[in-house]
Amino acid sequence: MKSSKIHVLTVVSTPFQENSYIVYTDGSDQCLVLDPGFEPERLLQQMDAKRLVPAAILNTHGHADHIAGNAVVKQRWPDCSLVIGEGDAAKLTDPEQNLSSPFGLPLTSPPADFTVRDGDTYSAAGMDIRVLAIPGHSVGHVVYVLDASEPPLAFVGDVIFANSVGRTDFPDGNFQMLAEGIRQKLYRLPANTQLFPGHGPTTTVGQEMEHNPFVSRQ
């Protein structure tokens, strides 16, 4: 049986030009919200316009620009589950760890309702989401993959960007771990897999394998 078409709406939040995503399927009034940033009201406007209700907030990692909107979404929809990798869960409620205090804008998020780890499958809004743990930008960073989509979709946060990769100079960053995770996990996805990063334009696995100057396929 062919799955319903998956749609992705992108909201770019200032001041860090962070990409937040709304993901939904044809015929469903539920959606996923990924990495709500500093302008969550714009996400609410998009969901209201489409008459969508979020079934889950999926955080790729716990840095401030990716979790700033969690509280607003949870306040509007308290039953919406907040999901993050187990290694970054503490960042939600700690302004030092989520790097908001160093920028002079200390913030906290509601705590996680569920934590996920490498190899898990989390299901919400009629979609099965496969979890890949790829540390290096942050210790608990995860990637969410929708294998059932055609082409497959991967929400990669700050692991990889079009022709670039995430910073590894934060306290729990590590370039070697990041590069290994990209090669061993992301680059093993189908070449046509669409990558939706935390900043900048979408790209594909094949594009990055061939042209990313920071992490080659070998």
Asked if residue 118 belongs to a domain, the reply is: yes
Closest CA to 77 of 43, 38, 115, 49: 43
Give the pLDDT of residue 3: 60
Domain-embedded: residue 216: no
What pLDDT is stored for residue 105 in this prediction? 87
Number of domains in the chain: 1
Instruction: Establish whether the linkage from the previous residue to 15 is cis, with ω within 30° of 0.
Output: yes
**Per residue of the chain (218 residues), what is the pLDDT tens digit?**
346 799 999 999 998 999 999 999 999 999 999 999 999 999 999 999 999 999 999 999 999 999 999 999 999 999 999 999 999 999 999 999 999 998 888 999 999 999 999 999 999 999 999 999 999 999 999 999 999 999 999 999 999 999 999 999 999 999 999 999 999 999 999 999 999 999 999 999 999 999 999 999 87
Domain interval for residue 100 = 6-211
Instruction: Tell me the pTM.
Output: 0.97
Residue 33 main-chain phi, psi, to 5 deg: -115, 125
The whole-number pLDDT of residue 104 equals 87
The strand pair at 121-124 and 127-133 is best described as antiparallel
Q: Does residue 164 lie within any of the structural domains?
A: yes
Phi first, then psi: give them for residue 185, nearest 5 degrees.
Answer: -120, -55
CATH for 149: 3.60.15.10
> What secondary structure does DSSP assign to 131-175, as a single string?
EEE--SSSTT-EEEEETTSSS-EEEEETSEETTEE----STT--H
Residue 112 in domain: yes
> For residue 1, what pLDDT is reported?
32
59 within domain boundaries = yes
Residue 126 lies in a domain: yes
**Helices then strands (H, E): number in the chain?**
5, 14
